[in-house]
Amino acid sequence: MNHLQKTRTAAAWMALILVGLTAALTLPGCAGVGVKPWERDILAAPGMQVDPDPLVTALDEHIYFSKEASTGGLGTGGGGCGCN
């Protein structure tokens, strides 16, 4: 499989996931997913954030950016540097 096909396959998967998520969000039946505003005690804890250690993530991203060919995508706003 060449890279063009690979890219197309990935794009197709992404599109599928996006469509699924959009459907899930707009379907009224799914509005019940989640928690009540006052049930956020656990999710509000520092250790339960999507990224509990943004600093560690930033430092690791910089390391792997300079050691690997695939970088980014974590949603952290990294910037360009000359280490790759």
| Interface positions with other proteins (CB under 8 A) | 2-4, 6-7, 10-11, 13-14, 17-18, 21, 25, 30-31, 33-45, 47-56, 58-59, 62-64, 67-75, 77, 79-84
Task: Write down the least CB distance from residue 61 to other proteins, Å.
Answer: 11
Distant-in-sequence, close-in-space partners of 72: CB < 8 Å, separation ≥ 6: 61, 65, 78
Cα→Cα distances 11→14, 41, 74, Å: 5, 37, 17
Distance CA 65, CA 37 (A): 38
Task: Write down the least CB distance from residue 63 to other proteins, Å.
Answer: 6
Task: Write down the least CB distance from residue 57 to other proteins, Å.
Answer: 10
Distance CA 38, CA 43 (A): 11
